[in-house]
Each structure stands twice: as C-alpha cells, then as structure tokens.
Amino acid sequence: MKRILLSGGGTGGHIYPALAIARAVRKRFPDVEIAYIGTENGLESRIVPKEGNIRFYTVEIQGFKRSVSWENVRTIRKFLQAVRKSKQYLREFKPNVVVGTGGYVSGPAVYAAHQMGIPTLIHEQNVVLGLTTKFLSRFVDVIAISLEESQKYLSRANRIVFTGNPRATEVVQANAVLGRKSLGIKDSHKPIILFCGGSRGARVINEAVLQMIPEMKKMPEVHFVYVTGEVHYEKIRSQIQADEIPNLEVKPFIYNMPDVLSATYLLVGRAGASTLAELTALGLPSILIPSPYVTNNHQEANARWLEEQGASKMLLESECNAENLWREVKRLIENKEEHHAMSEAASRLGRPHAAEVLVDELEKIAFIQV
C-alpha cells in the first residue's frame, strides 16, 4: 500500500499545491493513503478536511521573528516538540514519502521524516525561498521549484527539479464557458478585465479601481470584473451604487476562479505564487501590484521576474494610482500585438503538467519499489 504524508500551511499558496499533489497522486495510484500535518487553528485545518479521505494530524508551531527576540527561544522549543510529535504520527501512519509545501508547519514534519530515514521532497512556490525551504533544503532528497529563477538561491540541496507549481495543472483544466456563464456574460468575444487583490482585497487596488470607473464607462465593449475582497465589499458597493454601469460587475469573492481566469483577457492583481502559476499555465497577460507586506518581499521578486520575461507589467504600490493603472490597462486593451506578446511569454513559462511531474519524482524516490 502506498502512503504519502503532506505538510504545508499558513496561506492558501502553501495548502493548495499540497492538495493538487494529493489529487495527482490519487489519480495515478487510486489506492494511495494520504495524511496531512498542519496546525489546529491554521487555514489548512479548514481547507484540508473538506478534501475528504485525508487523515489530518496537528502540531503546535509558530514562525521565527526576523529580529532578535526572546520569542525565538520559545519558537525553537515548539519546533523540537513538533518534531517529536511528527515522529509519533510518522510511526503511526508509516508513509513512503513526506512532502512539504512550505509554511513553518512543514518544517518539523519534513525534518522528522529526514531523521527517520523516510524519503522527503519539498516544493517551493516563490522565486525567493521561504525560511522553511532554506532550512530544509540541506536535508531533503529532492527540492522542487516552481520558477527557474529560484535555483540561484539554492546551493546545498541534494537534487533540484524544476517542476512548476501543481496548481497550474488544475487551472488548465478549467472551463472558460462556465467562467463567462458564472459572470452572466453571453458575448463570447467580449474581453474580460479582472481586478482582484486576493481573498481579503487590497486597499491600493480598490482605491485605484474606484477612481477608474468613469473611464470604464467609456468602454462598453469591455466587461470589467472587480473583486473587492469580502471585508471591503459592502462599503465599496455602496460607493458606486449611483455610478453603476452595465459592463462593470462587483463581487466580494470568486469561488470558481480557475474558470473565470480561463475566460479573462487581462488580470490586475497581486503576485502570489499561485497567481503566477495560474497566469503562466493559461498564458494570461497581467498587471501585477505586489504586496509589500509579505515575508522577504517575495511578491515583488515574483512580479519583477515575470516582467523581465515579458509576461507582465509590474506596478509597485507606491506607483499604483488610478492614472498609472488605467494607462497600463488601456494600453493592453488597445494594443493587441503587445497583449499577444505577453500572452506568448507567459505561456512559455507555464508548466501545465507540474502535478504529474511531481508525482514522477515521488515515484522515483519512494513508490518505485512499493
């Protein structure tokens, strides 16, 4: 019997790749048993159980402070306790391989597996390595990277494999027709411009979009979709009530984002790892406004790399106002050649079979003799 244990948490950017790997493994090996180590109160504790048929274990762990702090002493103690707890779970579940997809919760699980001689793989989604990836890279059997640029940050890894982000595999299976239908757009040729600052929204994007509404009115041939984030929705909806226009749709959240993205002409949004995987898998041009509030400023590194490849335009938050953003949006609506070139560049970077490639690696290091 094949068994795989996954660990990753904190944000959806770590959790969804793990679940994509789980689905790909299950597709190739229907009888596989899957377990997951997360935290009791983390986002993974709500998302993973909904997947069904995954045994969910929990440890107590917290991230390191980047400044010198006595709190880091407590973090080290919790890490060691979580390693011991993870070893108990590993002895109980007996996995053939342990996979970490980032977030500090994956550290003790993967490190415990290494100490017990269980094959290990970690997957890094961003250009700049997270602290957990940096720590684990010297111990694991394989480190899989989503973006080639990450390789320059790795020096002590046993084996580096450029797989792409497994989220891409699921996005390329999305249905553009369903995406348009969910937005109530009947015209299959009408371009869709999607503004989205993430599940909680982004203040700077929201403010710019609000000021751009008069310009949107002048383009009835384009359908604008504005995702505010659930926190901001009621306030923003009331602000634009009087200016409501037929080609503007305001939503708090989009649950079928892959379908909508597959129907989208241009995305304006943040530069998280999952977003990059989706953009490159679909060959979708973008204007990226990286969040400056994330660890290692990794979103700026993501966005800058995509821009250097010709697949995106980056605007820093300090540059993101209505005038600058509308200029870029309008240019890409009107300049079909530039839009096509960006689409081609994004497609060249895509790894639509990332999940299958990761399963190939797991088969090599753990499943080949099982």
Give the single-character DSSP code of 276. Answer: H
Mean pLDDT throughout 56-64?
84
333 labeled part of a ligand binding site: no
Q: Which of 329, 339, 340, 345 is CA-nearest to residue 280? A: 345
pLDDT at position 369 over 60 = no
CATH top-level class for 3-170+352-367?
Answer: alpha beta
11 labeled part of a ligand binding site: yes
How many CB atoms lie under 10 A from the CB of residue 215? 14
**Is residue 2 helix, strand or coil?**
coil
Q: Which of 62, 40, 185 is CA-nearest to residue 131? A: 62
Q: Which residue has the higher pLDDT, 302 or 131?
A: 302
Amino acid at 136: L
179 labeled part of a ligand binding site: no
13 labeled part of a ligand binding site: yes
Q: Which residue has the higher pLDDT, 111 or 370?
A: 111
Burial of 190 (0-12, 13-18, 19+ CB in 10 A): middle
Q: Which residue has the higher pLDDT, 294 or 315?
A: 315
- The domain at 173-349 falls in which architecture? 3-Layer(aba) Sandwich (3.40)
184 labeled part of a ligand binding site: no
Q: Which of 291, 295, 345 is CA-nearest to residue 318? A: 291
pLDDT tens digits for 221-279?
A: 999 999 998 888 888 888 886 456 889 999 998 989 899 999 999 999 999 888 999 99
Domain boundaries, the chain: 3-170+352-367, 173-349
Q: Provide the pLDDT confidence category of residue 303 given band limits of 50, 70 and 90.
A: very high
Torsion of CA 126, 152, 311, 125, to 10 degrees: -20
pLDDT at position 66 over 80 = no
Residues linked to residue 35 through DSSP beta bridges, in sequence order: 5, 55
Q: Provide the pLDDT confidence category of residue 72 given band limits of 50, 70 and 90.
A: low
240 labeled part of a ligand binding site: no
Q: For the chain, how long is the longest CA-to-CA vector? A: 66
Residue 12 has a pLDDT of: 83
126 labeled part of a ligand binding site: yes
Mean pLDDT throughout 29-33?
95
Q: Provide the pLDDT confidence category of residue 70 given band limits of 50, 70 and 90.
A: low
Predicted TM-score (pTM) of the model is: 0.84
Residue 225 has a pLDDT of: 95
Q: Which of 127, 128, 198, 171 is CA-nearest to residue 347? A: 171
Residue 231 has a pLDDT of: 82
How many CB atoms lie under 10 A from the CB of residue 293? 9
Low-confidence winner among 123-137, 143-157, 264-278 (lowest mean pLDDT)? 143-157
Amino acid at 155: S
Length of the chain: 370
Cβ(310)–Cβ(342) below 8 Å: yes
